[in-house]
Amino acid sequence: MKLITIVGARPQFIKAAAVSRAISQYNQKYPTHAIREIIVHTGQHYDPNMSDVFFAQMQIPQPNYHLGIGSFSHGAMTGRMLEKIEEVILKEKPDTVLVYGDTNSTLAGALAAVKLHIPVAHVEAGLRSFNMRMPEEVNRVLTDQISNWLFCPTETAVRNLKREGILESGQSLVSNVGDVMYDAALFYKKIAQPTKAIASLIKELDESFYLATVHRAENTDDPIKLSNTIDALETISKTTPVVLPLHPRTNKLLSSQHISYIRLIEPVGYFDMITLLSKCNGVFTDSGGLQKEAYFFHKPCITLRDQTEWVELVEQGCNVLVGADREKIIEAENNLINLKEITHNNYSNYLYGQGNSANKVIDQLIKNS
């Protein structure tokens, strides 16, 4: 079997790394039936730190193709990716195209494949925020509609696909394999070493701080929402420091905001991020992935959004949605001790599998190819 894996953003590389390790394990076990994986990096998220050192440190295979498509409008970006990915598919003639998550790279990869009659496998299928104003929601809904294998991270995701008629269509194989990001978290936390700067910061704060991220356009592009969020984090920081790795988009928009207490730092790599996660008291975020990772590290999460794809975390009481409401953010922080206890007690429910999701993905592809 020849697979083309499409990735474009750092979270996708981490997910793909888990599956690539499973492929390597399979090939060692069955060398005469080896899977050949071709990795295509669209370049959607350009990061100067995404270098040979990054790939070596994280044991991620080097991309076979780097398309170099950077930041454009959604339509222009997706169109350029579609054209370039199609060229790779025509050249490589894969048996399956594998896509991850909900980025423009995901949709472009799926579209390019299906138009050339190549089966599509979607890892992290079935997630829904039910907010079609989010580009990610559009990408994931359309990708699910044209995928042949839909690898869901949760039972909630399976139910979403059932409601949309995909489960009964007979044209797609839907399965709950768990979350490959959990596989990655278990693997990398054993080998992660922080940079000196992050290790020094954690020591300075005496391991008593919150970790925050603010980057979604729904928050950063609305001056009132951004101001409310930052003001709440400033208030909280007066008693417990909030460490905020600053996304470039957010940094530009904060020029008029007076910040005295929040500990603003440069964007961090994955090892630094999971180190901060492992040491923090709790998380404030509008990121989808970080909500899950907070749970993986037994940390309560306050989500700066009105909806989440990870509804089971809210249902279990490990995550609370507060939007960009200043008073709700501060109130949630006041209740964080209760949230932390609930998160700890519910961690053993295995909401996202048991760390073998990538192996299940490969088993399903082999079995049903």
Q: Which of 33, 74, 117, 215 is catalytic?
A: 215
Helix, strand, or coil here: 164?
coil
Helix, strand, or coil here: 19?
helix
User: What are all long-range contacts of 192-196, with beta carbons under 8 Å and residues at least 24 apart?
Assistant: 192/270, 192/271, 192/274, 192/275, 193/271, 194/271, 194/272, 194/275, 194/276, 195/268, 195/269, 195/271, 195/272
> What token pair was written down for 39?
């990795």
Handedness of CA 74, 122, 47, 65 (dihedral sign): negative
Q: Are 97 and 6 in contact (CB under 8 A)?
A: yes
> What token pair was written down for 54?
């990054």
Examine the residue annotation and report whether 122 is marked as an active-site residue of this protein: no
Residue type, 102: D
Residues identified as active-site: 215
